[in-house]
Amino acid sequence: MEKGLIFTYAMTALGAIGGLLSPFFGLLVYVCFAIIRPDHMWAWSVERGNYSRIIAVAMLAGWAAHGFGRWRFGRAGPVVGCMLGYWFWTMLSAVQAIDAGKAWELVEFFAKVFLPFLVGITTLRTVGQLKQLAWVILLSQGYVALEMNLSYLGGYNRVYHDGFGGMDNNCVAIAMVTGIGLAFFLGLAAREWWKKGLALLAAALMGHTILLTFSRGGILALALTGLMAFLLIPKTPRHYLIFAAAVVAGIVLSGKEVRERFFSTFQESDSGKREASAQSRLDLWSGAVDATLKRPLLGAGPDNWGEVAPEYGWKKGKEAHSLWAQNAAELGFPGVLLLLGFFVLAMMRLWPLTREGSPVSDPWLRDAARMVIASLFGFVIAAQFVTIKYLEVPFYVAALPDRPQSGRRLPHPARVDHEHRQGTVAPSAPLGRRSCRGETDAHRTLGLARRQLRGRARRGHRHHRSQRRRQIHAAQGA
């Protein structure tokens, strides 16, 4: 029996049983299948089936049995609100869509994405669970990249000619750009050498897969993701060395053909015209903007830009080659702003956690914030050059650090100070060279608590003095 068939059947059974007992376990298997897509990865042995649906039903049933998790989102509230608002807006737009069948098909797909997202963000309890989800995403995406590289070494560039999982080469490039930031920072954060090596190897495979797609938008997004990673990495010689090695590897792996195709985007002919593919994208974006202005509120309907494309000289069903431009044309300004707001707010609310001086309940949350910002930044940039509607990874990446950090407030300053004096505040890492980082976080949290206590005491003294002066003035006036 083929390894793919064994893996698919075994994981489906585990996901169905485990999802009933623990919805989070079902989520892990569901996310793995959403990335690997077994019936596409091993099409010669795994028949098309409802593997993910079986896991999803068990996961949702387990979620309901456990009371639908905790719905106190804290700082993640606006992010979840944008997601739910976007889903509602797609349904509202679908009611008046030109082709209602295509519109509701896309609404159904978003249900398969947003419901697991809600399961994750309402059931995530610990940093350990966050790490499990991050590693499932990394290993699944890394395996896809490995298979694409093995196919290339075997003499056939599968990702360029066939794409993967129903996605063309450009869409696969976006998926890999989304995963490479996560892999890079997960490698930097790993303590065990084999985990660090595995994560960085997965990042290298994803980077090479992007180059194999010959997607100019994907390569540009990869370069900008690298720039963002440079801004986010801890400023130490070791991290700079790892980053420099990654840059050198990227330059070496990009061959002459890749570089020529990428730089052709910025070249003009002797007559002053741009390269045909680049010019067609600009014309498509112009048409999508005009379609948005004609239907600014609800758009043409989900997945319905292709119905109005002939009005601008394109064949019916033509994509706009930009997720943001096409979303605006299909859902109007509110729809595209809600979707963009989901990713932008997620990055903005995580940005303060990337600073070394910020108090966090676990040092790993800083690394999680960095990996999510790098991944989502790469996705937002790459999506400007490709229309990709059926990609789930960015939403699962966005769920990574929100819940434990936003749902867990810092304890009361007096309690922190009391626990420190009693010796009950433990360092967040084992003793030794690696414990310095955890102890520093504990001390910073303690320092913040003490400063808050001193501030409250000073405000109390000022209030008492002003109240005493008012009493004296009142007595003198009498």
**pLDDT tens track for 303-351:** 999 999 999 989 998 988 899 999 999 999 999 999 999 999 999 988 9
Phi, psi of 22 (to 5 degrees): -140, 105
Number of domains in the chain: 3
* Contacts (Cβ under 8 Å, ≥6 apart) of 200: 183, 184, 187, 242, 246
Does some domain include residue 415? Answer: no
CA separation (Å) from 372 to 69, 275, 317, 406? Answer: 23, 34, 33, 15
Look at residue 459 in the predicted model and tell me its pLDDT.
66
Does some domain include residue 362? Answer: yes
> Does one domain contain both 90 and 190?
yes
> Does one domain contain both 45 and 183?
no
CA separation (Å) from 323 to 114, 207, 263, 272? Answer: 18, 22, 23, 28
> Does one domain contain both 15 and 154?
no
Mean pLDDT by 10 residues, the chain (478 residues): 86 95 95 93 88 95 93 85 95 94 93 93 88 94 95 92 89 91 90 92 92 86 87 79 76 64 53 64 91 94 93 90 93 95 92 82 86 91 83 86 46 37 40 39 55 65 69 66
Does some domain include residue 298? Answer: yes
> Does one domain contain both 63 and 81?
no
Does some domain include residue 172? Answer: yes
- Helices and strands counted in the chain (H then E): 21, 0
Look at residue 389 in the predicted model and tell me its pLDDT.
76
H helix runs in 233-363, sequence order? 237-253, 256-263, 276-294, 305-308, 323-350
**End of a domain among 68, 98, 124?**
68
**End of a domain among 407, 434, 469?**
407
For the whole prediction, is pTM greater than 0.75?
yes
Does some domain include residue 56? Answer: yes
> Does one domain contain both 54 and 83?
no
Rounded to whole angstroms, how far apart are CA atoms 287 and 320?
8
Three-state DSSP class for residue 358: coil
Does some domain include residue 417? Answer: no
Rounded to whole angstroms, how far apart are CA atoms 112 and 43?
22
> Does one domain contain both 168 and 266?
yes
In single-letter form, the type of residue at position 208 comes to H
Does some domain include residue 81? Answer: yes
Three-state DSSP class for residue 167: strand
> Does one domain contain both 113 and 233?
yes
CA dihedral 453, 459, 462, 466 (to 10 degrees): -140
Does some domain include residue 412? Answer: no
Of 123, 376, 113, the closest CA to residue 229 belongs to 376
> Does one domain contain both 32 and 84?
no
Of 399, 403, 359, the closest CA to residue 376 belongs to 399
Residue pointed to by tokens 């498509």: 284
> Does one domain contain both 29 and 101?
no
**End of a domain among 22, 44, 68?**
68
Query: Which domain covers residue 447, as residue numbers?
Result: 424-477
pLDDT digits (tens, 9 = 90+) for 422-471: 444 433 333 333 334 444 455 555 555 566 666 666 666 666 677 767 76
| End-to-end alpha carbon distance in the chain | 100
> Does one domain contain both 440 and 364?
no
Rounded to whole angstroms, how far apart are CA atoms 452 and 446?
10
Residue pointed to by tokens 């065990």: 192
Of 99, 81, 80, 175, the closest CA to residue 330 belongs to 99
> Does one domain contain both 319 and 462?
no
> Does one domain contain both 100 and 77?
yes
